[in-house]
Amino acid sequence: MGLMLSEKEILANLEVNGLLSPMTESTAVWAQIMPSTGSLVLFGAYAQLAKGSYFILCMEQDKVILLPVHKITGKMDSKKEPIIMTFEELDSVEVGKNALLHKVTFTAGERVMPLKINKVAAGTKWHKDHLEKALAEIARCEATVNQRNM
């Protein structure tokens, strides 16, 4: 899917939604919500199609922005509104990683967004270029939220 979406398309979507800034431009990375392990065991690849979601995650000084990506076409999903969570409304941010990906879970009230961010996304130089800054901004978000909740 990474081969289908260009950085130019992402920036155009951010601009149309009034979200384009130097920070969102430099922190845009692929993120996905994976189906549960049970769903994967029962339904295999169909579970990703039915339950999984793809996003472009962007960080701003005081908010997390998730731009929906269409599961089939791999293009920006203009029918769905961006998901915006301000640092103030976040109850928790959990960050983890393993050899292949970073796990980030944003929780705001009843909304839980368990995202996986791959370290490498084939055919997307922009993902690799933005990953370090995006992860640094996610860590800053985590520290801000955790400090506020102490």
Tell me the CATH number at 37.
2.30.29.30
Question: Three-state SS for 27?
Answer: helix
User: Domain limits at 85?
Assistant: 2-148
pTM of the model: 0.86
What pLDDT does 88 receive? 94
Is pLDDT larger for residue 100 or for residue 22?
Answer: 22
Q: Give me the mean pLDDT over the 103-108 stretch.
A: 92
Residues with Cβ within 8 Å of 98's Cβ and at least 6 positions away in sequence, in order, are none
- pLDDT beyond 60 at 93: yes
Q: Which of 80 and 120 is assigned the larger pLDDT?
A: 80
Summarised one tens digit per residue, pLDDT across range 5-56 is 899 999 999 999 999 999 999 999 999 987 555 444 444 544 344 456 899 9
Q: Which of these, 31, 74, 35, lies nearest to 51 by C-alpha position?
A: 35
Strands (E), the chain: 29-33, 53-60, 63-69, 83-86, 92-97, 101-108, 111-118
What's the structural domain count of the chain?
Answer: 1
Is the Cβ–Cβ distance between 60 and 90 less than 8 Å? Answer: no
Q: Provide the pLDDT for residue 43.
A: 46
| CA 119 to the chain's CA centroid | 13
pLDDT at 102 over 90: yes
pLDDT for residue 35 = 55
